[in-house]
Structures are given as structure tokens and as C-alpha cells.
Amino acid sequence: MDTAGLTSIAMLIHERNRIDARITDIVGRPVVSGHLSDWIAAQVFDIELDPVPGSPVDGRFRSGALAGRTVNVKHYTRNHGLLDMTDSEELDYYLVMTGPRVPVAGAWSIDRVYLFDAQALYDDLSEQLRRIGVATSVRPEYWRAAEVHPNPARPALALGPMQTAALDAFRAADDR
């Protein structure tokens, strides 16, 4: 038995639990990737979150060109070209945050942000006879056209310097 390894893991898990408890106190929701991503997106993009998580709509933009529009926030540790989609007509946008192009094992980061018009994407993929739902395949040209950070191609969500700096703080250490 690797008692030194077990002891190290136990200590790290205790440290992680303390960190998770502190994060929960700040975001007001349990520390799971989706809740944390929703909270970060709400802070950076001025989104009012739905108080009850789990619906197709995570919240609404409070300001800017998208004020009042509904959004579903996604976070993926890496962009595999897949997007969990819904056919909900009340959803206006997907805000997708992804980690680095080359994944770092176990790392959580935000290296790229994309904004998809939910209805337009649904209609385009339906016309192409794509299966829409969990892990919907989205072609690379759609991702490029939807990028808002760090290489903006989407003028509907222009980022200010404070938003850019906030997102850059979450980049993977190897990608800075």
C-alpha cells in the first residue's frame, strides 16, 4: 500500500473541500462546473441568473446589445466541436466557454468564449439533417464565426477591457 500517496491525496482533498466551501459561499451554489461557469459568466457578461438552475435558460443579459435576451451558459474543458443543444424556443443564445485547444489533464480554465444564436444554429443544423441534442456536432466554421474571446468574430457581444482581463485571469497556465 502506498501510504504516502494516500496521505497526500487525503490532504489535497481536505484542501480542495475547504476551497470548494469558500467558492460555494461566494457563488451561492454548489461547486460543480456548470454552476461555477454560470456564476463567472454572470459576473463577466452581466447576466441575471435564473434562481432555479436546470432549465434550458440559465438567465438573461441585463445590459448591452443583448439586454433582455435569454442565454444558456456552457463550459467545456476543451472544444471538441460538440455542443449540448435544446429545441427550446425561449432560448436566444448559447454562451460557450472552453478550455485550451490542447487539454491539460484535470485542468479547469476558460481560454475561449463563443456566442451562438440558438435559433439560427438550430435551424441551420436541422436543414443539414444533423441530430440535435446532447453532444450535437457543430462544424469548425460555426465556432470561428461565434468566437467572442480572445479572437472576436461576433460583434453582438463586444468585450470591454475589464471583461477581457477577467476572462484572461481564467486562462490555462500553459496558455498565458
Helix or strand run (H / E) with residue 117 = strand 112-117
For residue 149, give its domain range. Answer: 32-175
Q: How many domains, in total, are found in the chain?
A: 2
101 and 133 share one domain: yes
Whether the CB-CB separation of 132 and 125 falls below 8 Å is answered with: yes
User: Which set of grid coordinates corresponds to residue 53?
Assistant: 438552475
Residues 65 and 120 in one domain: yes
Answer whether residue 176 shows pLDDT above 50. no
Strand 136-137 to 147-149 pairing: unpaired
For 23-41, the pLDDT digits (tens) are 888 888 777 667 888 989 9
State the pLDDT at residue 120.
96
Q: In DSSP terms, which residues pair with 93 in a beta bridge?
A: 71, 117
Q: Are residues 101 and 142 in the same domain?
A: yes
Same structural domain, 4 and 77: no
- Cα dist from 159 to 55, 66, 83, whole Å: 27, 12, 23
SS3 50: coil
The answer to whether the Cα torsion of 82, 84, 87, 92 is positive or negative is negative
134 and 99 in one domain?
Answer: yes
Evaluate if residue 174 carries a pLDDT over 70: no
Residues 100 and 145 in one domain: yes
Within this chain, do residues 1 and 81 fall inside the same structural domain, yes or no? no
